């Protein structure tokens, strides 16, 4: 792995921006505001921050460490973790690793479709046509028509794969541009929304504590699910970025910074969407329709609305592509580790063909929902649970802590490990059980 060209990120912040790029995506921009709007506002935020702190410092750090220890992605990392017990278990772990890896590929297929719709919205903003239409009718027309975004779909997949051909080096370079621009754009939008009449009610909803709502267990369940997916702690994606992390970095420190930046991104997105919805009397829990119906309708009514629409969808494209990069990289690196003779470029091309082939079956967009429900109910929660159990119950404690404590000034010991074993793992199991038995898609 280390012998391959560009196999490491060159700087700590380059790594963090790439990791944040993976984490920041649809889960932040519409998922967080929608779930916050549907689950008590500030109460959801309190629960969410608790889980982000736990999952970031423990779960995310563990995935970085596992990847760095094995210097490879999902399949090799699971095999190495289980092999710390015995060679036979290592083979079983390698087989189990296919499930979370399949989750990454399935998400990539669905993500590429939705980013294609975002790219179409960007194009409509650029031409100005979005400013003159009934947004519900506009979205309904192309979202119910088969193969209506094929050119945009191809552009998304090809452009994303193009950024991956040079490995960690190109991932780092593109995210050093995309992530700062993403944050700047959403700060600009948040400032603009602050001047809308009635926006203050949205801020009250977000930040006025409603302690009674915390008695509802589903608020905690939804917050926990959002934290898992927002941080991309799914037993696969973040492992590959850990494989590119230098031995000189403190993985817990780096994971904490990733979690902080990801949370800021979610809050900034919420500061755009929730106050805007309150200002216009719209449903803050509307989910994906926020992007294609609600926000365009708002932008039509404000000065320089077309400019802000272009800015919004540019940010959304960056958020989506940076997440898609990670999904493709996780799958591609693992396949390259398993079948090294294929070569990196061929593996990426094959992934693009698979993504486009399956993705075309999800047009129109109403086919996308059931696909992503299956992924988020079955594959991803199971993958996250398998990963959590592998790191904290199967892998030898000393092996994990040795990797966690590389190049640190203050050792992480029983407190960190027990938080993973007795808090993080049960959270993953609970999320998996809720998803499987209640058929709840996170």
Each residue's pLDDT tens digit, 286-343: 666 777 887 888 888 888 889 989 988 888 888 888 889 989 999 999 999 889 888 8
Q: What is the pLDDT of residues 29-67, one digit of tens each?
A: 778 888 888 888 899 999 999 999 999 999 999 999 999
115 within a domain of the structure (yes/no): yes
Question: pLDDT band at 4, cuts 50/70/90?
Answer: very low
Average pLDDT, stretch 115-140? Answer: 91
- Could you tell me if residue 223 is inside a domain? yes
Over 70: is that where the pLDDT of 413 sits?
Answer: yes
pLDDT of residue 202: 92
Above 80 in pLDDT, residue 217? yes
In a domain, 263, yes or no: yes
CATH at residue 128: 1.10.4160.10
Average pLDDT, the chain: 87
1 domain-assigned: no
- Asked if residue 305 is part of any domain, the answer here is yes
Q: What is the pLDDT of residues 367-405, one digit of tens each?
A: 666 777 777 778 888 989 999 999 999 999 999 999 999
Asked whether residue 406 is assigned to any structural domain, the reply reads yes
pLDDT tens sequence across 199-213: 999 999 999 878 888
Segment 157-193, tens digit of pLDDT: 999 998 887 666 777 778 888 888 888 888 888 998 9
Q: Is the residue at 214 inside a domain?
A: yes
| Residue 6: inside a domain | no
Provide the domain limits for residue 193: 12-438
3-state SS, one letter per residue, for the chain: CCCCCCCCCCCHHHHHHHHHHHHCCHHHHHHHHHHHHHCCCHHHHHHHHHHHHHHHHHHHHHHHHHHHHHCCCHHHHHHHHHHCCCHHHHHHHHHHCHHHHHHHHHHHHHHHHHHHHHHHHHHHHHHCHHHHCCHHHHHHHHHCCCCCCHHHHHHHHHHHHHCCCCCHHHHHHHHHHHHHHHHHHHHHHHHHHHCCCCHHHHHHHHHCCCHHHHHCHHHHHHHHHHHHHHCCCCCCHHHHHHHCCCCCCCHHHHHHHHHHHHHHHHHHHHHHHHHHHHHHCCCCCCCCHHHHHHHHHHHHCCCCHHHHHHHHHHHHHHHHHHHHHHHHHHHHHHHHHHCHHHCHHHHHHHHHHHHHHHHHHHCCHHHHHHHHHHHHHHHHHHHHHHHHHHHHHHCCHHHHHHHHCCCCCCCCCHHHHHHHHHHHHHHHHHHHHHHHHHCCCC
Q: How many domains does the chain have?
A: 1
pLDDT at 84 over 90: yes
């Amino acid at each position: 792995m280390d012998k391959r060209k560009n196999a490491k990120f060159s700087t700590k912040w380059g790594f963090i921006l790439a990791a944040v790029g993976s984490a920041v995506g649809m889960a932040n921009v519409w998922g967080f505001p929608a779930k916050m709007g549907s689950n008590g506002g500030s109460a959801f935020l309190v629960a969410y921050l608790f889980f982000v702190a736990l999952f970031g410092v423990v779960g995310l750090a563990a995935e970085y460490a596992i990847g760095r220890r094995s210097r490879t992605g999902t399949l090799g990392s699971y095999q190495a973790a289980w092999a710390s017990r015995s060679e036979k278990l290592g083979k079983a772990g390698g087989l189990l690793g296919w499930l979370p890896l399949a989750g990454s590929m399935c998400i990539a297929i669905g993500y590429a479709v939705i980013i294609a719709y975002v790219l179409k919205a960007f194009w409509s903003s650029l031409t100005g046509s979005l400013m003159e239409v009934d947004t519900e009718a506009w979205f309904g027309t192309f979202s119910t028509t088969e193969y209506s975004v094929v050119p945009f779909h191809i552009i998304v997949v090809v452009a994303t794969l193009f950024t991956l051909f040079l490995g960690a080096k190109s991932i780092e370079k593109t995210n050093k541009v995309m992530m700062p621009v993403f944050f700047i754009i959403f700060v600009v939008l948040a400032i603009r929304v602050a001047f809308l009449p009635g926006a203050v009610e949205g801020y009250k909803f977000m930040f006025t504590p409603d302690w009674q709502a915390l008695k509802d267990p589903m608020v905690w369940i939804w917050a926990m699910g959002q934290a898992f997916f927002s941080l991309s702690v799914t037993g696969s994606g973040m492992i590959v970025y850990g494989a590119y992390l230098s031995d000189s970095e403190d993985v817990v420190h780096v994971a904490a910074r990733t979690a902080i930046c990801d949370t800021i991104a979610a809050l900034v997105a919420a500061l755009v969407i929730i106050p805007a919805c309150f200002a216009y009397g719209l449903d803050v829990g509307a989910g994906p329709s926020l992007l294609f119906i609600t926000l365009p309708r708002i932008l039509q009514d404000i000065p320089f609305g077309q400019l802000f629409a272009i800015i919004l969808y540019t940010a959304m494209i960056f958020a989506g592509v940076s997440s898609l990069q990670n999904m493709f990289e996780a799958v591609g690196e693992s396949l390259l580790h398993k079948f090294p003779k294929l070569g990196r470029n061929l593996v990426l091309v094959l992934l693009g063909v698979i993504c486009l082939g399956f993705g075309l079956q999800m047009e129109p967009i109403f086919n996308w929902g059931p696909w992503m429900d299956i992924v988020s109910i079955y594959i991803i929660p199971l993958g996250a649970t398998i990963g959590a159990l592998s790191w904290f119950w199967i892998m030898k404690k000393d092996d994990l802590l040795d990797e966690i404590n590389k190049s640190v000034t203050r050792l992480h010991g029983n407190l960190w490990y027990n938080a993973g074993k007795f808090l993080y793992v049960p959270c993953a199991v609970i999320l998996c059980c809720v998803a499987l038995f209640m058929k709840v898609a996170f």
